[in-house]
Amino acid sequence: MSRESAVAVRIRRLPHAAGLPERASTGSAGYDLRAATSGPVRIAPGERTLIPTGLILGLPPGYEAQIRPRSGLAFRQGLTVMNAPGTIDSDYRGEVKLLLVNLGHEPVDVERGERLAQMVVAAVPEVTFREDDALGRQPTEGDRNDGGFGSTGTS
């Protein structure tokens, strides 16, 4: 993405922040978010907790920030984002916090400055809903109708 087409996101770093969001590589879609804790935080198996980032975002209208797990932490330790992806709305001006859950079998110790989640900034289209009473009554080609979860099968 060229500098001319980059999305400008304002950011405020609070005194306890452990760094600004940054990409691990030039091809990374997400920007890593770090723990802004005062010291280590232990998350027991099955426990969920909010971890501060020390950051306040000023997203432009028409954009959101999606908070997603880091795959390595999820795989190795079972640490993931509880409401993945979490959404930071463009009009939210509070501190970004990470809602983490330990789905593993061992406690996980989170250290200050540790990269815990990734943030993807995405455009959100303006949507207009139009009622249509014919939906779901007579399927058209390609419609799944009301089969629900798993209705397309596994093969």
Question: Residue 83 sits in a domain of what CATH number?
Answer: 2.70.40.10
pLDDT at 89: 97
Q: Is 41 within 8 Å of 49 (Cβ atoms)?
A: yes
**Mean of the pLDDT values across residues 102-114?**
97
* pLDDT tens sequence across 49-69: 999 999 999 999 999 999 999
Is 38 part of any domain?
Answer: yes
Is 153 part of any domain?
Answer: no
* pTM of structure: 0.84
The separation between the first and the last C-alpha atoms of the chain, rounded to the nearest angstrom, is 38
Is 17 part of any domain?
Answer: yes
* pLDDT tens sequence across 136-146: 777 666 666 66
Q: How many domains does the chain have?
A: 1
pLDDT at 136: 75
pLDDT at 135: 82
| Maximal CA-CA distance, the chain | 59
Q: Is 112 within 8 Å of 37 (Cβ atoms)?
A: yes
- Domain enclosing residue 28, as ranges: 7-123
Is 53 part of any domain?
Answer: yes
Is 55 part of any domain?
Answer: yes
pLDDT at 18: 96
* pLDDT tens sequence across 7-51: 999 999 999 999 999 999 999 999 999 999 999 999 999 999 999
DSSP state of 27: T
What is the band of 134 on the pLDDT scale with cuts at 50, 70, 90? confident
Is 68 part of any domain?
Answer: yes
Is 140 part of any domain?
Answer: no
The rounded percent of the chain whose pLDDT value lies above 70 is 86
Q: Is 116 within 8 Å of 51 (Cβ atoms)?
A: yes
What is the band of 3 on the pLDDT scale with cuts at 50, 70, 90? low
Residue 82 phi/psi, 5-degree rounding, is -60, -45
What is the band of 107 on the pLDDT scale with cuts at 50, 70, 90? very high
